[in-house]
Chain A
Amino acid sequence: MTFNPLEQRGIPLDRQLRNWRELNVEPIDPDHCDPYTRCRIITMNGIEVEAILFSHQLARHTVDPEIKRQLARTRYIEAQQQKVVNWLLPGVSSVLETTIAYEQVAVDLTAWIARMEPDPYLKQAYQFGVLEDFDHLYRYANLYEMIEHRKAESIVDGLTEVIPGRPTKYHHRNPVDNVRDPYDRTRTDPLSKLHALTVLSAEQQTMNFYMNTGPTYMEPIARQLYQEIGLIEEEHVTHYESLVDPGETWWEQLVNHEYNECYLYYSFMEQESDPRVKAIWELHLNMELEHLHIACDLMRRHDGRDPAEILAPQLPNVLTFEPNKAYLRELLGTQMDLTTLGAGYVRDAHERFEQMQEQIHGGEEPPSEQVITQHDAMFGREYRLETEGEHPDPAMRENS
């Protein structure tokens, strides 16, 4: 591929503002859409939310009012992009239905990135994390059938399996063990920077979504499960954000954000099956190219460096939503019993882990276990979607 965003010009910023009619997009049909179209929408919403929040933080650390005004102009357009993207989700979907789609994103996005990540330490971080999102999907799928009598299969459509991962109750680690070591910004592959920012943004949006929508449920088990998994999303944001080199300057970070948005809109434009949504990815790519140029100018002016030094010479291979079943099964067979100790990984339940477990569970089964027990009481079985045979870990097979 030879697409180099640095050499392309997009739509001039003063022609990017959209009116109410243009913002009022028709949502996708939840019962007939491509599940990966919904995954791309959820991913890009997370990316735009991160872009907005990052720009606000940058503005709060900026003294020069002229630069604040420049940031505000781009950020307003990004806020419009977020509205268009997230408003593609339909009002008829329930929070739980959208939650299952969020977990499908977490599974297939993180698994793909783990497969493609060149740095072994970063790859391990994604492999570790994906087995947890995989288990969240299974827990929420059981809750979904209890509350709505619907099977998660109607959402994930057989593209992603729904079976136990690393059990959710073991995700509660001492917070200090969630902090990873960062990559070195001067030596790492530019692709690794994009991966870290993408997964971080997706997990952050998931954290925000659960922390805000969890209490809209009235069913006690639903409220409790959103609290439990919401706290794990806090751990995941800590895990992934600590992979990013804190030595990157504000302007370097801004350029990385804008470059990543170009990369993802380009990737999704290339693979989108819904022509209406594809047109949005294309339009937004053309907006982002201009945002990238503005960010590059700011970096040149304030850091006195050429952005080309920190970026890839051309866009990496497109980030793709596709089934990762065999890869996930391999991880399920080999990495189920891992936990973290310091910035590394161990198989033993060490003292700090045990202590955290004892304190947070308070001698009771957590909501993530209760949901399976309650589902079993209601239906006489669990909800699972096994498309590739029984669970690779014999201990995790139903009735085992």
Chain B
Amino acid sequence: MTEMHTPQAGDDHAADTDVVALLMRQHGDIRNLFDEVEQSTGDARKDAFRRLVRLLAVHETAEEEVVHPFARRNIPGGEQVVEDRLTEEREAKETLAALDDMDTDDPKFLPRLIALRADVQEHARAEERYEFTHIRRSTDAARLASMAKGVKAAEAMAPTRPHPGVQSGAATWRSVRWPR
């Protein structure tokens, strides 16, 4: 099968001068891939799921490396806000890792995927409302732009596999292998 395109930060023609706008669009890309996995079967589903796993991995890594550290230091109550988000991410990664070992045509796959989708969607909206809003308030345009660059760079370097054990431990993400 030919390699299908995985959406990545900056693959539209937007200026990408705002890290928050960039990440919000990527939340939509993730949601689109969930649709694609749900609506396909067989090899097409396997492929869509592989792209979803990859996108989730690079997206979360970029947030952990670029966005959460900034929020921790610069927004009021940032420590707790980021802690809450990391807890949500950890839970999602655990579910994702379990799904990763499963055949995408297994009858248990879809119900678990839908449960994961709900968790991921709640996590994404919580970031947008309780973290991103405050990031935009507490910094200037230059910093939003440099963080957008940072996210794109982090995604280019990021591992493409989930690992629930450690946050921001890029090396640990690589230790999980693709299913056959």
Contact = CB atoms under 8 A, between A and B. Distances in A.
A247 to B, nearest CB: 48
A147 B122 CA distance: 18
Given A91-B125, A147-B21, A218-B136, A154 B35 contact: yes
Contact of A150 (B21, B28, B118, B125): B28
A1 interface: no
Given A91-B125, A92-B121, A94-B125, A147 B13 contact: no
Given A91-B125, A92-B122, A380-B13, A31 B35 contact: yes
B29 interface: yes
B138 to A, nearest CB: 13
A210 to B, nearest CB: 20
A147 B25 contact: yes
Interface in A215-254: 218-219
Interface residues of B, number: 25
Contacts of A32: 114
Contacts of A94: 125, 128
A150 B27 CA distance: 9
Nearest to A377: B13
B34 A148 contact: no
Given A31-B117, A148-B24, A377-B13, A92 B125 contact: yes
B35 A148 contact: no
B28 A148 contact: yes
Contacts of A61: none
Interface in A377-394: 377-380
Interface string A24-35: 000001011000
B13 A148 contact: no
A379 B125 CA distance: 24
B32 interface: yes
A149 B122 contact: no
A154 B128 CA distance: 20
A379 B13 contact: yes
Contacts of B117: 31
Size bracket, chain A contacts = 10 to 19
A249 B133 CA distance: 49
A227 B31 CA distance: 28
B14 A31 contact: no
Interface in A62-95: 91-92, 94
A147 B24 contact: yes
Interface string B94-129: 000000000000000000001001100110010010
Interface in B29-83: 29, 31-32, 34-35
- Which of A29, A218, A379, A380 counts the most chain B CB atoms within 10 A? A218
A380 B13 CA distance: 8
A218 B134 CA distance: 12
Nearest to B136: A218
A148 B25 contact: yes
B89 to A, nearest CB: 16
B177 to A, nearest CB: 30
B26 interface: yes
A148 B31 CA distance: 10
Interface string B127-152: 01000010010000000000000000
Nearest first, the 3 closest Cβ-Cβ pairs linking A and B are A149-B28, A148-B28, A149-B25
19 contacts: A29-B118, A31-B31, A31-B35, A31-B117, A31-B121, A91-B125, A92-B122, A94-B128, A147-B21, A148-B24, A149-B26, A149-B27, A149-B29, A150-B28, A151-B32, A154-B31, A218-B136, A219-B21, A377-B13
